[in-house]
């Protein structure tokens, strides 16, 4: 089977990397996720990855700390996660490089769209750390921005549920999963897909989003091939 999406941006939450521990890294979980990424890469997909930092830090729940400082700590947490994902990919024989939004040459290359696209075209997976490089903006917004900057065909949002629901499926047994949605409906009904800034960026630039369960890492390759997994959001 061929692939429907040649170049993708995969958003992985920080919490997903912590596995059952809930915080920090869980090596077995990261290895499993990276095996799913490897399978999609072997199909010929060019893959960029944005990782969150919630397994180490959540700026919005940082108490009395100044919001700007809290968000900067969160951005640094995403760099740690990016390095961990890069290392796990390399251990599985997948070429990968980290690019950061802020200048930290001892740690990783600084991001430019030209360098990222060149790396993707050479067969490397590019892991983006540091969010947008600015406080206030979420890693969902960073994902949408990087997806547009690298010319991705779609953004994949890998979550802990198997798509988008009309209400929290963990709390309500009658929650209904959507197969398809429009960004306008997501924004109007404030559905839990991503923040409004990220959703608006995707809508205004014609970037579809596929939301699926990362608990089944094989879903990444399935989604790349156009199989119906989770929810597709497009205008």
Annotated binding site for ATP: 11-14, 54, 58, 159, 165, 168
Rounded alpha-carbon distances, angstroms, from residue 129 to 14, 76, 186, 192: 11, 8, 27, 23
Phi-psi region of 49 (alpha: psi -120 to 50; beta: other; left: phi over 0): beta
CA separation for the pair 53, 32 (Å, rounded): 19
Is 78:137 a contact under the CB 8 Å cutoff? no
- The Cα 46–Cα 147 span in angstroms is 12
With contact defined as beta carbons under 8 Å apart, do 116 and 48 qualify? Answer: yes
Known binding positions for UMP? 53, 71, 132-139
**Pick from 66, 65, 89: nearest CA to 12:** 89
Question: Cα angle at 232 between 226 and 233, to 5 degrees?
Answer: 140
| Binding-site annotation, residues | 11-14, 53-54, 58, 71, 132-139, 159, 165, 168
């Amino acid at each position: 089977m061929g692939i429907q999406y040649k170049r993708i941006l995969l958003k992985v939450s920080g919490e997903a990397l912590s596995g059952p521990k809930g915080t920090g890294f869980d090596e077995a979980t990261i290895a499993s996720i990276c095996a799913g990424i490897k399978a999609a890469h072997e199909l010929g997909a060019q893959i960029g990855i944005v990782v969150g930092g919630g397994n180490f830090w959540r700026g919005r729940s940082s108490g009395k700390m100044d919001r700007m400082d809290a968000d900067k700590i969160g951005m640094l947490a995403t760099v740690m996660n990016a390095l961990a994902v890069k290392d796990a990919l390399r251990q599985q024989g997948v070429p990968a490089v980290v690019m950061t939004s802020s200048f930290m040459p001892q740690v990783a290359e600084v991001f430019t769209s030209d360098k990222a696209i060149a790396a993707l075209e050479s067969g490397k997976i590019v892991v983006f750390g540091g969010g947008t490089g600015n406080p206030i903006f979420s890693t969902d917004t960073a994902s949408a921005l990087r997806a547009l900057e690298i010319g991705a065909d779609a953004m994949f949002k890998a979550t802990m549920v198997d798509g988008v629901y009309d209400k929290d499926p963990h709390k309500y047994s009658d929650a209904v999963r959507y197969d398809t949605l429009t960004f306008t409906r997501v924004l109007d009904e404030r559905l839990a897909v991503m923040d409004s800034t990220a959703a608006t960026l995707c809508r205004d630039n014609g970037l579809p989003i596929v939301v699926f369960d990362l608990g089944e890492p094989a879903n990444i390759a399935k989604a790349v091939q156009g199989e119906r997994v989770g929810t597709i959001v497009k205008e």
